[in-house]
Amino acid sequence: MTVTSVRKDAEARTMTVEAEFDASAERIWQLWADPRQLERWWGPPAYPATVTVHEFRPGGRVEYHMTGPAGDQPHGYWEIVEVAAPRHLVFRNGSANDDGSPNTDLPAMVGRVTIEEIGDGRTHMTIQSEFASVEAMEQVLAMGTEEGLKLALGQIDGLLAEDPVRSA
């Protein structure tokens, strides 16, 4: 499995997931920057994602929905804060209503992605989610976010294996 660690820090209101891949930093960056690649791993296997808006720039917006086994379609969005290809991404991540407006019944969080090559053709990726409060963190974790993210990241190795030239 690609995930190497998951740390939850209630004091800092963060969940940090770390993963390693047999690919260059640029190749891992493309998993975020290309909407067709993003939708192949962003949702866990039982909830594949469909990206409908992908404005991958500061001030831009990414909108998506996941389709569950029963046909349910939870929506989400990112408001892009920082993009520093191929190393760093910051976005506000929230749940959305069917029309794309923020669903304020569920907490939003700030996502920070760091991508760094670690040698021998391997890359380390850190995804840190920061919550507004401990209660917001607990609510999101109770929804299965940790397991869902681990399952989503677990799909990346298969995606990289399909295109080994781009992984180099």
* pLDDT over 70 percentage in the chain: 96
pLDDT (0 to 100) of residue 100? 87
d(Cα 123, Cα 115) in Å, to the nearest integer?
Answer: 7
What's the pLDDT at 1? Answer: 47
Task: Give me the pLDDT at residue 164, please.
Answer: 55
Among 86, 79, 71, 23, residue whose Cα is nearest residue 55: 79
pTM value surpassing 0.85: yes
Question: Long-range contacts for 109-114 (Cβ within 8 Å, ≥24 apart)?
Answer: 109/136, 109/140, 110/81, 111/78, 112/88, 113/32, 113/88, 113/89, 114/87, 114/88
Which domains occur in the chain, in start order?
3-160 (3.30.530.20)
Model pLDDT for residues 83-137, shown as the tens digit of each residue: 999 999 999 999 999 998 999 999 999 999 999 999 999 999 999 999 999 999 9
More confident call, 40 vs 1: 40
Report how far residue 121's alpha carbon sits from residue 167's, in angstroms, rounded to the nearest whole number.
Answer: 9
